Amino acid sequence: DELEIKDCFLIGHSMGGYVALMFHKLFSEKLFGFSLFHSHPFADTDEIVNKRFREIEFVKKGKKELIAAINIPNAFATDNLYKYRASIEKTIQIAVQTKAKGIIANLYCMINRPDQTNILANSKKPFLYVLGKKDNYINFRTIIEKIIPPPKSEVYILNNSGHMGFIEEKDELEKVLINFISKNC
């Protein structure tokens, strides 16, 4: 509103995908299209909820470095770890500098978010779904079988990416985005 942007193409990566779906629910008139990168519309499973509670306890005990040291490398495809070691280290440093209160709040938000499958299935907006074939957090085959995409949608699988396709296959992703937006929006 402050920038007087009437509508946009919204991209949500991972947790940002949950936010993008909620934005769609609340302000769909402000979207001319949207995309989820390495995300999904589902609420957390019991297994994921338990994992997030364990992470909250680690953060409360002052051990966020341990979580960052495990979760961030896992966000990259295993065969990309060496190639992107500088990005991994930089991301770990950012995570470690993040306040514990913020990390805990984000984990609680993810635990408590509703299933947003209907928002996605009932959307009339052009939708691009981008998943990584080597994602250690989101199994692309399982997700593709479960989602009900809206009518104007495309799914794109990044063959050499884990959860960080915007780093691991940046040029490929840029081409996919430009092509989708120019065709559909």
Query: What digits encode the pLDDT tens for the residues 19-57?
Result: 999 999 999 999 999 999 999 999 999 999 999 999 999
Cα dihedral across residues 115, 150, 20, 130: positive or negative: positive
Cβ-based neighbour number of residue 126 at 10 Å: 21
User: Whole-angstrom Cα distance, residue 73 to residue 88?
Assistant: 6
User: Is the per-residue pLDDT at 1 higher than 90?
Assistant: no
Run of H or E including 33: strand 31-37
**Confidence label for 148 from pLDDT (cuts 50, 70 and 90):** confident
What's the residue count for the chain? Answer: 185
CB count in 10 Å sphere of residue 84:
19
| Burial (CB count within 10 angstroms: exposed 0-12, middle 13-18, buried 19+), residue 120 | buried
- Number of Cβ within a 10 Å radius of residue 57: 11
pLDDT band at residue 163 under the 50/70/90 scheme: very high
- Residue pair 67/55 in contact (Cβ under 8 Å)? The answer is yes
- Could you tell me which of 83, 46, 61, 59 has the C-alpha nearest to residue 71? 59
What string of DSSP letters covers 74-139?
HTS-GGGTTTTHHHHHHHHHHHHHS-HHHHHHHHHHHHHPPP-HHHHHT--S-EEEEEETT-SSS-
CA–CA dist 94, 185 (Å, integer): 34
User: What pLDDT, on a 0 to 100 scale, did the predictor assign at position 175?
Assistant: 97
What average pLDDT does the structure give for the chain?
95
User: How many other β-carbons are positioned within 10 Å of the β-carbon of residue 160?
Assistant: 15
Q: What is the mean pLDDT of residues 64-84?
A: 96
Q: How many Cβ atoms are within 10 Å of 18's Cβ, its own excluded?
A: 21
Summarize pLDDT for 107-137 with one digit per residue, the tens: 999 999 999 999 999 999 999 999 999 999 9
Q: What is the pTM of this model?
A: 0.92
